[in-house]
Every structure is written in structure tokens, then in C-alpha cells.
């Protein structure tokens, strides 16, 4: 999907005259999208899970806002969401061998996309050839840059969505209630009492999301720590309850 195409009226990339909000998958984007379109004058919807580099040229000078998640939590959440869908994504189908593999072996394959060229070839071939505006909205050619990077999938996805000079307003989704208003203030967005009250209603992590530790053995835990090390260090994440 390219800016200005017919599919660009779907949800989840929001722009105003002071900033652009880009949604990283499973990182609070639905709430933030609704919040911004309700309270921020001039906010408009551009596309679903569209990376920053594809936003219209007239917006590229604006600061980027977004949220990130603990990688260990992300992988558990991603798998759980896909496994219960009646029509799971092509990425999930390829990595889980059409649902035959459980969480651990599926994640092991996911974490090897940046190291195993043969596996990556298979997955790239299984993905859509272009942006669709649906789901993760990740075509095969957009996944190709993970090749030989050694990155975990979530670290790659972070770079894919947010890669741009001067990114400095990405906060932890686990603190969305506390971080949303300061993030807006930091880019000069006026904030009303109603906005502050609504921000306190942001969803918090569910009990299932907080119990991600039980899905990992020691080897898989350490593999995530290795593949997603830069992201983990940047935001101070730990493998902890």
C-alpha cells in the first residue's frame, strides 16, 4: 500500500500538524488511534500498520510517536492472537507449519529468520507481494531486510515501522496510561483535562500478558535475549513478572 492509494483509508497511522503516530503491532495502537481522532484537531487516518517511511512527504518532518512492548511478551501475545483466529496470517501459517507447531517451535523459527536464509526464502514466498492494509500488513519484500541481520522478528519489526532519523518519542506500552500525555506534551500538543482523564482509561496488560514467563524454557528465553538485545537494552526490559 502506498500513501494516497485507495486502501489508505483504513486505520492506525494518525497524523496531526504536530506529529505522526505510527502503530507497532500489538502495542496499544487501537486505543491511541481512537484517543487522537477524538481529541486532536486535524488528526486523520492514513493507513493500517504503515511504516513511517511510507507516510506522505508533507509529513516526514514531523516527530514520530509510538509505543513498544517487552519482546518476550510480544511473542507470546502474537502467537496467542494468531492461534485463535479462524483465518490466521500467512506469516503464522508459514512459521507454525499451518498450525501444527506449538509456541516454542514456532518462535524458534521466527527468531531464525534473521539467520537462516533458506527459512527466510520460504516465508518471504508465502507472504503477500504488496501491502494489503490488513493485519500485520507485511509483504514479503518488506521482510527481506531481516536477512543475515541476526535480529529477532520483533526488533526487525520495530525498525521496519519506526526507522527514520530523530526517532525519540517511542514509549513503553506497559506504561501507556502514564506515558501518553507526557509524550504529547513533549511535541507541543495542547492537552485538556478531558484528555488526561481519558488517558487514565487506557487498557492495562491482561493477566495472560503478564504471565508470559511460563511459556519460555531457559534456552528460548536466552534466544530472545540474544536476538532482541538492542531493543531490550534500549527500553530497559527484563524477563520478569
Same domain membership, residue 124 and residue 224: yes
Residue 47 has a pLDDT of 73
Chain segment 127-179, per-residue pLDDT in tens: 999 998 888 899 999 999 999 999 999 999 999 999 865 567 999 999 999 99
What integer is the mean pLDDT of 208-223? 87
- What is the predicted pLDDT for the residue at 60? 82
Q: Is residue 1 part of a domain?
A: no
10 and 52 share one domain: yes
| Same-domain status, 114 and 171 | no
pLDDT at 116: 97
For residue 240, being part of any structural domain is answered with no
State mean pLDDT over 1-14.
Answer: 38
Per-residue pLDDT at 13: 58
Q: Which domain holds residue 115?
A: 71-162+207-235
pLDDT for 34-80, tens place per residue? 999 999 988 888 777 888 888 888 888 888 899 999 999 999 999 99
Position 167 scores a pLDDT of 67
Q: Is the pLDDT of residue 32 over 80?
A: yes
pTM above 0.85, yes or no: yes
- Let me know: does 36 contact 176? Beta carbons within 8 Å: no
Q: Are residues 178 and 212 in the same domain?
A: no
For residue 209, pLDDT over 90 is answered with no
More confident: 218 or 59? 218
Structural domain total, the chain: 2
Residues 157 and 86 in one domain: yes
- Please give the average per-residue pLDDT across 218-230, as a whole number: 97
Which residue, 20, 9, 185, 133, is CA-closest to 32?
Answer: 20
Q: How far is CA 200 from CA 81, 147, 154, 178, 194, in A?
A: 25, 40, 27, 8, 10
Quick one: pLDDT at residue 11? 33
If asked whether residues 89 and 133 sit together in one domain, one would say yes
Which is higher by pLDDT, 220 or 5? 220
How much is the mean pLDDT over the chain? Answer: 88
Q: Are residues 117 and 58 in the same domain?
A: no
Q: Are residues 150 and 217 in the same domain?
A: yes
pLDDT band at residue 5 using 50, 70 and 90 as cut-offs: very low
Which pLDDT does position 114 carry in this prediction?
A: 98
241 part of a folded domain: no
Q: Are residues 214 and 114 part of one domain?
A: yes
Residue 64 sits in the same domain as residue 75 = no
Residues 137 and 193 in one domain: no
**Does residue 147 sit within a domain?**
yes
What is the gyration radius of the CA atoms in the chain, in angstroms?
18
Same domain, 215 and 130: yes
Amino acid at each position: 500500500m502506498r500513501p494516497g492509494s485507495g486502501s489508505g483509508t483504513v486505520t492506525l497511522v494518525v497524523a496531526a500538524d504536530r506529529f505522526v503516530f505510527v502503530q507497532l503491532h500489538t502495542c496499544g495502537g487501537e486505543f491511541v488511534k481512537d484517543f487522537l481522532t477524538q481529541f486532536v484537531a486535524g488528526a486523520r487516518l492514513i493507513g493500517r500498520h504503515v511504516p513511517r517511511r511510507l507516510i506522505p512527504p508533507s509529513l516526514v518532518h514531523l516527530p514520530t510517536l509510538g509505543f513498544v512492548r517487552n519482546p518476550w511478551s510480544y511473542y507470546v501475545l502474537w502467537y496467542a492472537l494468531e492461534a485463535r483466529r479462524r483465518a490466521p496470517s500467512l506469516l503464522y501459517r508459514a512459521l507454525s507449519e499451518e498450525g501444527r507447531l506449538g509456541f516454542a517451535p514456532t518462535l524458534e523459527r521466527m527468531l531464525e529468520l534473521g539467520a537462516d536464509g533458506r527459512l527466510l526464502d520460504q516465508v518471504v514466498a508465502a507472504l503477500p507481494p504488496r501491502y494489503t492494509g490488513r493485519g500485520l500488513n507485511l509483504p514479503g519484500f518488506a521482510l527481506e531486510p531481516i536477512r543475515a541481520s541476526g535480529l529477532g522478528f520483533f526488533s526487525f519489526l520495530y525498525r521496519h515501522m519506526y526507522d527514520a532519523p530523530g526517532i525519540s518519542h517511542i514509549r513503553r506500552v506497559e506504561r501507556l496510561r502514564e506515558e501518553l500525555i507526557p509524550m504529547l506534551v513533549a511535541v507541543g500538543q495542547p492537552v485538556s483535562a478531558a484528555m488526561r482523564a481519558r488517558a487514565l482509561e487506557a487498557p492495562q496488560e491482561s493477566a495472560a500478558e503478564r504471565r508470559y514467563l511460563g511459556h519460555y524454557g531457559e534456552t528460548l528465553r536466552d534466544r530472545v535475549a540474544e536476538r532482541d538485545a538492542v531493543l531490550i537494552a534500549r527500553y530497559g526490559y527484563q524477563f520478569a513478572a
